[in-house]
């Protein structure tokens, strides 16, 4: 999250710098007006979002080292478009209502089913940090002030399937597999969009007599696209996950993670594990870009869930039934 915030602040700095360059360059007042109006609108929206995210990350830095996780139940409610509320009830009966911050749809599905969370806070500014059991990603929320707005309960979108059902019919796991399979495409599309924006800026600047400014903006866009491409390429390993889920029902097998294993800043890293197959044979399984959630589940339970029955020399999907956790295993 901190790296994402830094990236946003850098984008803002580039935009303001480009607008300043347009003002100093020998271009028409019309071009300058278009540039500054565009930048001002983007800056206004971005700063509002950034301040909210920055407030939550600062609260997280304070709460997590000092606070204690407390078990609670959570009732999700939709209060208007894009506004998700959560009523948290602790074991001692204390209740408070939070406006959630950017909750992913699949985690919302898990909470709508289980209604269980762990919570730290709220602090003096109203910020709270929550996690769903089994998931490492923290969720943010801020105390709702004033009269509670009308809201509708959030119900599960799909029936709950157990381990005996085909893995591909698990709504949450299959949804996560689709997201991860499309990660590379989304990254490359974002890079292409950034370069395309630079080309549009160059064309407009050329038509209006500001070729130098347009060329500078294009160069900045190309530079900004390079990290997107580099970050997207390793994620191509996830592309076969949806197809691998169709191998059959879930199969649970004894497994041990090969230590040491440490995740990167995004919570994943290459790893390996020892898995005992139904035949009794123990094999080494490569785990490319495996998530810390799957690793910690294996560490805690000594088992690993496979879609279908894995065979030596093949690829399989691994995960946890009912949770947005799915990764690739290479036997």
Q: Give bridge partners of residue 129 from the DSSP assignment.
A: 120, 140
Is 268 a domain residue? yes
Is 56 within the bounds of a domain? yes
Residues 212-244: tens digit of each pLDDT: 777 877 888 888 888 888 888 888 899 999 999
234 and 273 both lie in a single domain = no
Residue range of the domain that includes 55: 1-66
CA 256/CA 272 separation, integer angstroms: 9
In this structure, the chain runs to a length of: 331
**Domain-embedded: residue 1:** yes
Strands 70-78 and 326-330, sheet pairing: unpaired
Pair type for strands 303-307 and 250-257: antiparallel
pLDDT tens, residue by residue, 86-141: 888 888 888 888 888 778 888 888 888 888 889 887 888 888 888 888 788 788 88
250's tokens: 């879930």
Mean pLDDT of the chain: 81
42, part of any domain: yes
With respect to residue 166, please indicate whether it lies within any of the assigned structural domains.
no
Q: Is residue 163 part of a domain?
A: no
DSSP per-residue codes, 31-86: HHHHHHHHHHHHHHHHHHHHHHHHHHHHHHHHHHHH---EEEEEEEEE-STT-EEE
Judge residue 326's burial from the number of C-beta atoms within 10 Å of its C-beta, 0-12 exposed, 13-18 middle, 19 or more buried: buried
Asked, for residue 274, whether it belongs to a domain, the answer is: yes
Note whether 245 and 314 are same-domain residues. Answer: yes
Of 191, 215, 238, the residue that ends a domain is 238
Q: What's the structural domain count of the chain? A: 4
In a domain, residue 261? The reply is yes
pTM equals 0.76
152 shares its domain with 222: no
């Amino acid at each position: 999250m901190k790296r994402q915030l830094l990236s946003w602040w850098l984008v803002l700095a580039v935009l303001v710098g480009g607008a300043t360059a347009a003002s100093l360059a020998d271009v028409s007042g019309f071009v300058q007006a278009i540039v500054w109006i565009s930048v001002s609108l983007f800056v206004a929206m971005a700063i509002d979002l950034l301040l909210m995210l920055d407030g939550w990350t600062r609260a997280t830095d304070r709460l997590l080292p000092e606070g204690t996780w407390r078990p609670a139940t959570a009732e999700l409610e939709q209060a208007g478009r894009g506004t998700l509320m959560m009523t948290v009830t602790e074991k001692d009966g204390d209740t408070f209502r939070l406006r959630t911050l950017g909750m992913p749809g699949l985690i919302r599905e898990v909470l709508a089913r289980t209604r269980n969370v762990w919570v730290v806070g709220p602090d003096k500014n109203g910020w709270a940090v929550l996690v769903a059991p089994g998931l490492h990603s923290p969720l943010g929320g801020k105390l709702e002030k004033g009269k509670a707005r009308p809201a509708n309960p959030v119900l599960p979108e799909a029936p709950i399937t157990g381990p005996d059902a085909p893995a591909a019919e698990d709504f949450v796991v299959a949804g996560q597999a689709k997201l991860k399979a499309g990660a590379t495409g989304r990254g490359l599309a974002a890079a292409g969009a950034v370069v395309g924006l630079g080309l549009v800026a160059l064309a407009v600047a050329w038509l209006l007599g500001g070729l130098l400014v347009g060329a500078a903006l294009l160069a900045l866009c190309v530079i900004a696209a390079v990290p997107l491409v580099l970050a997207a390429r390793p994620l191509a390993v996830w592309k076969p996950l949806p197809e691998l889920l169709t191998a059959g029902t879930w199969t649970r097998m004894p497994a041990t993670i090969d230590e040491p294993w440490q995740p990167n800043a995004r919570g994943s890293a290459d790893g390996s594990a020892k898995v005992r197959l139904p035949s009794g044979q123990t094999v080494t399984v490569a785990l490319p870009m495996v998530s810390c959630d799957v690793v910690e589940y294996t560490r805690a339970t000594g088992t690993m869930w496979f879609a279908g029955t894995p065979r030596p020399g093949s690829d399989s999907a691994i995960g946890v039934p009912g949770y947005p956790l799915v990764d690739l295993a290479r036997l």
